[in-house]
Amino acid sequence: MNEDPVVGDLVVGPSTVVLGIETSCDETAAALVMGGNDVLSSVVSSQIELHATFGGVVPEIASRAHLELLNPVIARAIVEAGVEDRRIDAVACTIGPGLIGALLVGVSAAKALALAWDVPFVGVNHLEAHLYAALLDDPAIELPIVVLLASGGHTMLVEMTDPGEYRVLGQTIDDAAGEAFDKVARFLGLGYPGGPAIERTALDGDGTAIAFPRAMRDEGLDVSFSGLKTSVLNHVRANPDVDTADVAASFQTAVVDVLVHKARRAAAVVGAKGLALGGGVAANSELRERLLDACTADGLRAYLPSRAMCTDNAAMIAAAGWHRLRLDGPSELDTGAYPNLRL
């Protein structure tokens, strides 16, 4: 797009500052981003400790915590960015997918601020925002790329041809990759959230110790992790003395093996110029290293956003909001929250 679009009396361009708000799950986050990729501030307040004793996110607790945390988090994001309120040109907020009560806290706050400041409100799809995280650290991206989006709720391979233009190439037919990490970690007694716990435990183990299955590895672009999870459970029950570190490492290697294999395959199918990672699982070191090796081997550019940009944050929401504002203009103020929103 050459000309910067005009929304009302706002020219949406490189100096447009968007406040992003994220409350879809268990992170309360706010960020200020200028021009779609210049992160002025990004504040994330995690509720992990509140939910850890329950072994997972409790929706009612999440909503209440968002209510308490959101205003101070937004205030901090504005102070850290060093700008006045009136410098904020638009307010973007996750409208789905996510927990309904949690989403509503963010959406209500975003609309109220947009009204008070008389600036556009932009509803953002959380999954689309995860795709933009890859562009945040590296704005000079060469499209098309394939993004492997692996989070707690979703695992998908998406072709991005232009900002705002995507095609889902494949996805999980059962558990998301992050969900598999969380369930296996819980079974192994490693705590919540499971991804970082498995990664830490796996450091002392051997990823080749146990040959867990790689379901659907050589079929199409969909993935499946539910059989792998069951296989881990069965193996540990049948071998109570097995080394937990070996189980964690072998499980992690199996997940990474499938994800990297499918991502390479997807890149080849669409003739992508590069591969990008997004979503919480993209914080995993083994996945990052193996994807980088695969890109080197296949002559692809690798886009590995910082770990902070892989997991839930509001900078990606503000970035996606800037692009959406340019493409579609503002959202209506009667926009709701959509727990099952799809990409």
In the bound state with ligand KG4, the residue whose beta carbon lies nearer, of 22 and 159, is 22
* Residue in 123, 194, 207, 274 binding ligand KG4, rule: CB under 6 A: 194
Question: Looking up tokens 């909503």, which residue turns up?
Answer: 63
* Residue in 28, 41, 172, 311 binding ligand KG4, rule: CB under 6 A: 311
Question: What residue type is 59 in one-letter code?
Answer: P
* Residue in 36, 144, 195, 305 binding ligand KG4, rule: CB under 6 A: 195
Widest Cα–Cα separation across the chain? 68
Report which of 97, 94, 103, 106 is spatially closest to residue 176, judged by C-alpha positions: 97
Cβ-contact 299, 213 below 8 angstroms: no
Partner in contact with 212, chosen from Zn ion, ligand KG4, none, beta carbon below 5 to 8 Å by kind: none
In the bound state with Zn ion, the residue whose beta carbon lies nearer, of 192 and 212, is 192
What are the structure tokens assigned to 250, written together?
Answer: 């072998």
What are the structure tokens assigned to 131, written together?
Answer: 């795709």
* Residue in 146, 312, 322, 337 binding Zn ion, rule: CB under 5 A: 312
* 316 makes contact with ligand KG4 (CB under 6 A): no
* 152 makes contact with ligand KG4 (CB under 6 A): yes
* 279 makes contact with ligand KG4 (CB under 6 A): yes
Question: What are the backbone angles phi and psi of residue 170, rounded to the nearest 5°?
Answer: -170, 160
Distances (CA, A) of 196 to 8, 91, 93, 178, 282: 45, 32, 27, 10, 11
Rg of the chain on CA atoms, in Å: 20
In the bound state with ligand KG4, the residue whose beta carbon lies nearer, of 193 and 330, is 193
* Residue in 41, 42, 94, 151 binding Zn ion, rule: CB under 5 A: 151
Calpha distance 343→333 (Å, rounded): 21
In the bound state with ligand KG4, the residue whose beta carbon lies nearer, of 173 and 203, is 203
* 23 makes contact with ligand KG4 (CB under 6 A): no
Partner in contact with 123, chosen from Zn ion, ligand KG4, none, beta carbon below 5 to 8 Å by kind: none
* 338 makes contact with ligand KG4 (CB under 6 A): no
Residue 194 backbone class (left: φ over 0; alpha: ψ -120 to 50; beta: rest): alpha
Give contact residues for ligand KG4 (rule: CB under 6 A). Answer: 25, 151-153, 178, 181-182, 193-196, 199, 279-281, 283-284, 311-312
